[in-house]
Amino acid sequence: MAAPDGREAAGRRSQSDRTVTVVVLAVLVAVWATFFGFAYAPAAHGREETEAQPAAPANNEFNFLQEGRDEAEALHAEEHQDTDGAGAGLIVSSILLSLAGAGLVPLGLRPSAVVGARSTLVALLSIEAAVIHFAVVAQHFDEWWLTGTFFVLVALFQLAWALLVLRSPSPPLYAVGATVNALVVITWIVSRTTGIPVGPDAGEAEAVGFPDTLATAFEFVLVAVLVALLRGWSAREPARTLARTVSWGAVVVSLTALALVILA
Protein backbone atom coordinates (compact mmCIF):
# COMPACT_ATOMS: atom_id res chain seq x y z
CA MET A 1 0.00 0.00 0.00
CA ALA A 2 3.01 2.29 0.40
CA ALA A 3 3.65 2.56 -3.33
CA PRO A 4 0.24 4.06 -4.20
CA ASP A 5 0.58 6.53 -1.31
CA GLY A 6 3.98 7.53 -2.63
CA ARG A 7 2.63 8.08 -6.12
CA GLU A 8 -0.28 10.07 -4.71
CA ALA A 9 2.07 12.28 -2.69
CA ALA A 10 4.27 12.81 -5.74
CA GLY A 11 1.20 13.73 -7.77
CA ARG A 12 0.15 16.28 -5.19
CA ARG A 13 3.61 17.82 -5.15
CA SER A 14 3.65 17.97 -8.94
CA GLN A 15 0.24 19.62 -8.99
CA SER A 16 1.35 22.11 -6.34
CA ASP A 17 4.47 22.97 -8.34
CA ARG A 18 2.37 23.44 -11.47
CA THR A 19 0.01 25.77 -9.61
CA VAL A 20 2.87 27.89 -8.31
CA THR A 21 4.36 28.09 -11.80
CA VAL A 22 1.08 29.23 -13.34
CA VAL A 23 0.54 31.86 -10.64
CA VAL A 24 4.06 33.21 -11.10
CA LEU A 25 3.59 33.38 -14.88
CA ALA A 26 0.24 35.11 -14.44
CA VAL A 27 1.87 37.73 -12.21
CA LEU A 28 4.59 38.25 -14.81
CA VAL A 29 1.96 38.77 -17.53
CA ALA A 30 0.14 41.30 -15.32
CA VAL A 31 3.35 43.21 -14.58
CA TRP A 32 4.40 43.08 -18.24
CA ALA A 33 1.04 44.45 -19.41
CA THR A 34 1.16 47.23 -16.81
CA PHE A 35 4.68 48.29 -17.78
CA PHE A 36 3.61 48.11 -21.43
CA GLY A 37 1.12 50.88 -20.72
CA PHE A 38 3.67 52.98 -18.83
CA ALA A 39 6.32 52.51 -21.52
CA TYR A 40 4.36 53.13 -24.70
CA ALA A 41 1.67 55.64 -23.73
CA PRO A 42 4.19 58.42 -22.94
CA ALA A 43 6.08 57.56 -26.15
CA ALA A 44 2.91 58.17 -28.14
CA HIS A 45 2.52 61.63 -26.61
CA GLY A 46 6.15 62.33 -27.41
CA ARG A 47 5.58 61.42 -31.04
CA GLU A 48 2.61 63.77 -31.23
CA GLU A 49 4.69 66.65 -29.88
CA THR A 50 7.51 65.86 -32.31
CA GLU A 51 5.13 65.79 -35.24
CA ALA A 52 3.67 69.14 -34.19
CA GLN A 53 7.01 70.95 -34.18
CA PRO A 54 7.94 71.19 -37.90
CA ALA A 55 5.17 73.78 -38.53
CA ALA A 56 6.93 76.41 -36.36
CA PRO A 57 9.83 77.31 -38.71
CA ALA A 58 7.34 78.52 -41.34
CA ASN A 59 6.89 81.77 -39.39
CA ASN A 60 10.62 82.53 -39.65
CA GLU A 61 11.05 81.47 -43.25
CA PHE A 62 13.10 84.50 -44.28
CA ASN A 63 15.57 83.99 -41.41
CA PHE A 64 15.98 80.27 -41.93
CA LEU A 65 19.50 79.67 -43.25
CA GLN A 66 20.34 76.73 -45.46
CA GLU A 67 22.56 75.19 -42.81
CA GLY A 68 19.79 75.32 -40.27
CA ARG A 69 17.41 73.74 -42.80
CA ASP A 70 19.83 70.88 -43.41
CA GLU A 71 20.24 70.31 -39.66
CA ALA A 72 16.47 70.30 -39.20
CA GLU A 73 16.03 67.79 -42.01
CA ALA A 74 18.73 65.54 -40.54
CA LEU A 75 17.13 65.75 -37.11
CA HIS A 76 13.73 64.96 -38.56
CA ALA A 77 15.14 61.92 -40.39
CA GLU A 78 16.74 60.70 -37.18
CA GLU A 79 13.52 61.15 -35.25
CA HIS A 80 11.67 59.31 -38.02
CA GLN A 81 14.05 56.36 -37.69
CA ASP A 82 13.58 56.35 -33.92
CA THR A 83 9.82 56.36 -34.42
CA ASP A 84 10.04 53.43 -36.83
CA GLY A 85 12.13 51.48 -34.30
CA ALA A 86 9.68 52.25 -31.52
CA GLY A 87 6.79 51.22 -33.76
CA ALA A 88 8.42 47.87 -34.54
CA GLY A 89 9.07 47.27 -30.85
CA LEU A 90 5.47 48.17 -30.07
CA ILE A 91 4.09 45.66 -32.57
CA VAL A 92 6.38 42.86 -31.37
CA SER A 93 5.60 43.59 -27.72
CA SER A 94 1.86 43.64 -28.42
CA ILE A 95 1.94 40.28 -30.18
CA LEU A 96 4.12 38.63 -27.54
CA LEU A 97 2.02 40.02 -24.70
CA SER A 98 -1.25 38.77 -26.17
CA LEU A 99 0.34 35.36 -26.82
CA ALA A 100 1.70 35.23 -23.27
CA GLY A 101 -1.79 35.82 -21.92
CA ALA A 102 -3.21 33.08 -24.13
CA GLY A 103 -0.41 30.75 -23.04
CA LEU A 104 -1.78 30.79 -19.50
CA VAL A 105 -4.81 28.82 -20.71
CA PRO A 106 -3.13 25.48 -21.52
CA LEU A 107 -0.73 25.90 -18.59
CA GLY A 108 -3.57 26.62 -16.18
CA LEU A 109 -5.62 23.55 -17.11
CA ARG A 110 -5.55 20.92 -14.38
CA PRO A 111 -5.24 17.43 -15.89
CA SER A 112 -7.84 15.94 -13.55
CA ALA A 113 -10.39 18.74 -14.06
CA VAL A 114 -13.23 18.48 -16.55
CA VAL A 115 -12.96 21.74 -18.48
CA GLY A 116 -15.00 22.05 -21.64
CA ALA A 117 -14.25 24.11 -24.71
CA ARG A 118 -16.68 26.83 -23.72
CA SER A 119 -15.15 27.17 -20.27
CA THR A 120 -11.73 27.38 -21.88
CA LEU A 121 -12.99 30.11 -24.22
CA VAL A 122 -14.40 32.26 -21.42
CA ALA A 123 -11.12 31.88 -19.53
CA LEU A 124 -9.22 33.14 -22.58
CA LEU A 125 -11.63 36.06 -23.02
CA SER A 126 -11.20 36.98 -19.38
CA ILE A 127 -7.39 36.85 -19.57
CA GLU A 128 -7.19 38.94 -22.73
CA ALA A 129 -9.60 41.51 -21.29
CA ALA A 130 -7.40 41.63 -18.20
CA VAL A 131 -4.31 42.22 -20.36
CA ILE A 132 -6.00 45.22 -22.01
CA HIS A 133 -7.09 46.58 -18.63
CA PHE A 134 -3.60 46.24 -17.16
CA ALA A 135 -2.22 48.10 -20.18
CA VAL A 136 -4.48 51.14 -19.57
CA VAL A 137 -3.77 51.40 -15.84
CA ALA A 138 -1.11 54.09 -16.46
CA GLN A 139 -3.51 56.26 -18.44
CA HIS A 140 -6.28 56.00 -15.88
CA PHE A 141 -4.02 56.75 -12.94
CA ASP A 142 -3.11 59.96 -14.78
CA GLU A 143 -6.81 60.82 -14.89
CA TRP A 144 -7.69 59.95 -11.28
CA TRP A 145 -6.21 57.60 -8.72
CA LEU A 146 -9.58 55.95 -8.04
CA THR A 147 -10.12 55.20 -11.72
CA GLY A 148 -6.69 53.61 -11.94
CA THR A 149 -7.40 51.55 -8.83
CA PHE A 150 -10.69 50.39 -10.35
CA PHE A 151 -8.91 49.10 -13.46
CA VAL A 152 -6.27 47.32 -11.37
CA LEU A 153 -8.96 45.53 -9.37
CA VAL A 154 -10.96 44.58 -12.46
CA ALA A 155 -7.88 43.25 -14.25
CA LEU A 156 -6.75 41.26 -11.20
CA PHE A 157 -10.21 39.75 -10.81
CA GLN A 158 -10.44 38.76 -14.47
CA LEU A 159 -7.01 37.14 -14.41
CA ALA A 160 -7.54 35.25 -11.14
CA TRP A 161 -11.07 34.20 -12.12
CA ALA A 162 -9.84 32.74 -15.41
CA LEU A 163 -7.22 30.63 -13.65
CA LEU A 164 -9.83 29.33 -11.21
CA VAL A 165 -12.16 28.38 -14.06
CA LEU A 166 -9.37 26.46 -15.75
CA ARG A 167 -8.65 24.52 -12.59
CA SER A 168 -12.13 23.82 -11.29
CA PRO A 169 -15.13 25.18 -13.23
CA SER A 170 -18.37 25.31 -11.27
CA PRO A 171 -21.79 27.05 -11.42
CA PRO A 172 -20.98 29.40 -8.49
CA LEU A 173 -17.78 30.46 -10.25
CA TYR A 174 -19.70 31.01 -13.48
CA ALA A 175 -22.26 33.13 -11.62
CA VAL A 176 -19.60 35.31 -9.98
CA GLY A 177 -17.80 35.85 -13.29
CA ALA A 178 -21.02 36.71 -15.13
CA THR A 179 -22.10 39.17 -12.44
CA VAL A 180 -18.81 41.05 -12.15
CA ASN A 181 -18.24 41.28 -15.89
CA ALA A 182 -21.83 42.41 -16.47
CA LEU A 183 -21.23 45.24 -13.99
CA VAL A 184 -18.03 46.19 -15.83
CA VAL A 185 -19.94 46.29 -19.13
CA ILE A 186 -22.63 48.50 -17.57
CA THR A 187 -19.95 50.81 -16.18
CA TRP A 188 -18.42 51.14 -19.65
CA ILE A 189 -21.80 51.96 -21.20
CA VAL A 190 -22.47 54.64 -18.58
CA SER A 191 -19.00 56.16 -19.01
CA ARG A 192 -19.52 56.42 -22.78
CA THR A 193 -23.03 57.86 -22.63
CA THR A 194 -23.81 60.00 -19.58
CA GLY A 195 -20.35 59.87 -18.02
CA ILE A 196 -19.28 58.62 -14.59
CA PRO A 197 -21.03 60.69 -11.88
CA VAL A 198 -17.88 61.06 -9.73
CA GLY A 199 -14.31 62.18 -10.27
CA PRO A 200 -12.60 65.14 -11.95
CA ASP A 201 -14.47 64.54 -15.23
CA ALA A 202 -17.83 63.75 -13.64
CA GLY A 203 -20.73 63.85 -16.08
CA GLU A 204 -18.52 63.96 -19.18
CA ALA A 205 -18.91 61.11 -21.65
CA GLU A 206 -15.61 59.46 -22.54
CA ALA A 207 -14.52 58.81 -26.11
CA VAL A 208 -15.10 55.36 -27.58
CA GLY A 209 -11.95 53.62 -28.79
CA PHE A 210 -11.11 50.24 -30.23
CA PRO A 211 -9.23 48.85 -27.17
CA ASP A 212 -11.98 49.63 -24.66
CA THR A 213 -14.68 48.50 -27.08
CA LEU A 214 -12.86 45.22 -27.66
CA ALA A 215 -12.41 44.55 -23.93
CA THR A 216 -16.11 45.25 -23.43
CA ALA A 217 -17.00 42.93 -26.31
CA PHE A 218 -14.91 40.18 -24.69
CA GLU A 219 -16.76 40.72 -21.43
CA PHE A 220 -20.16 40.73 -23.14
CA VAL A 221 -19.47 37.44 -24.94
CA LEU A 222 -18.06 36.01 -21.71
CA VAL A 223 -21.26 36.87 -19.84
CA ALA A 224 -23.43 35.40 -22.61
CA VAL A 225 -21.50 32.12 -22.63
CA LEU A 226 -21.54 31.88 -18.83
CA VAL A 227 -25.30 32.42 -18.74
CA ALA A 228 -25.69 29.64 -21.30
CA LEU A 229 -23.46 27.36 -19.22
CA LEU A 230 -25.52 28.11 -16.13
CA ARG A 231 -28.66 27.17 -18.06
CA GLY A 232 -27.38 23.67 -18.65
CA TRP A 233 -24.72 23.42 -21.31
CA SER A 234 -22.58 20.37 -20.76
CA ALA A 235 -19.02 20.85 -19.53
CA ARG A 236 -17.92 18.21 -22.06
CA GLU A 237 -17.99 19.13 -25.73
CA PRO A 238 -17.02 17.11 -28.81
CA ALA A 239 -13.63 17.57 -30.45
CA ARG A 240 -15.21 19.50 -33.29
CA THR A 241 -16.40 22.18 -30.86
CA LEU A 242 -12.98 22.25 -29.21
CA ALA A 243 -11.26 22.77 -32.57
CA ARG A 244 -13.65 25.59 -33.36
CA THR A 245 -12.85 27.14 -29.99
CA VAL A 246 -9.14 27.06 -30.82
CA SER A 247 -9.89 28.95 -34.03
CA TRP A 248 -11.87 31.56 -32.11
CA GLY A 249 -9.00 31.74 -29.64
CA ALA A 250 -6.64 32.73 -32.42
CA VAL A 251 -9.03 35.52 -33.38
CA VAL A 252 -9.20 36.72 -29.77
CA VAL A 253 -5.40 36.82 -29.47
CA SER A 254 -5.01 38.67 -32.79
CA LEU A 255 -7.60 41.28 -31.84
CA THR A 256 -5.94 41.79 -28.46
CA ALA A 257 -2.57 42.41 -30.12
CA LEU A 258 -4.19 44.93 -32.47
CA ALA A 259 -5.87 46.68 -29.52
CA LEU A 260 -2.52 47.00 -27.72
CA VAL A 261 -0.93 48.52 -30.82
CA ILE A 262 -3.75 51.04 -31.18
CA LEU A 263 -3.70 51.76 -27.46
CA ALA A 264 -0.15 53.07 -27.60
Tell me what the mean pLDDT of segment 7-25 comes to.
Answer: 75
Of 45-54, 85-94, 100-109, 158-167, the poorest mean pLDDT is in: 45-54
| Assigned domain for 59 exists | yes
Give the DSSP per-residue string, 178-247.
HHHHHHHHHHHHHHHHT--SSSTTTTPPPPP-HHHHHHHHHHHHHHHHHHHHHTT--S---HHHHHHHHH
- In this predicted structure, the answer to whether residue 65 has a pLDDT above a threshold of 50 is no
Rounded to whole angstroms, the Cα distance separating 169 from 116 reads: 9
Domain that holds residue 21: 13-263
Average pLDDT of every residue of the chain? 80
| Assigned domain for 177 exists | yes
| Assigned domain for 35 exists | yes
- CB-based contact 130:101 (threshold 8 Å): yes
- In this predicted structure, the answer to whether residue 10 has a pLDDT above a threshold of 70 is no
pLDDT (tens digit per residue) in 35-49: 999 887 654 444 444
State the pLDDT at residue 188. 96
**% residues pLDDT > 90 (the chain):** 48
Rounded to whole angstroms, the Cα distance separating 225 from 120 reads: 11
- In this predicted structure, the answer to whether residue 71 has a pLDDT above a threshold of 60 is no
| Assigned domain for 3 exists | no
The residue type at 228: A
| Assigned domain for 225 exists | yes
| Assigned domain for 103 exists | yes
State the pLDDT at residue 163. 94
| Assigned domain for 168 exists | yes
The residue type at 199: G
**C-alpha distance from residue 216 to each of 71, 104, 185, 209, 232 (Å):** 47, 21, 6, 11, 25
State the pLDDT at residue 84. 55
- CB-based contact 38:152 (threshold 8 Å): no
- In this predicted structure, the answer to whether residue 53 has a pLDDT above a threshold of 60 is no
Q: How many domains does the chain have?
A: 1
| Assigned domain for 2 exists | no
Q: Give the CB-side neighbour count of residue 121, counting CA atoms within 13 A.
A: 27
State the pLDDT at residue 64. 44
- CB-based contact 38:138 (threshold 8 Å): yes
- CB-based contact 116:12 (threshold 8 Å): no
Who wins on pLDDT, 14 or 160? 160
Distance of CA 231 to the CA centre of its chain: 28
- CB-based contact 99:249 (threshold 8 Å): no
Tell me what the mean pLDDT of segment 52-73 comes to.
Answer: 50
Q: Tell me the whole-structure pTM to 2 decimals.
A: 0.79
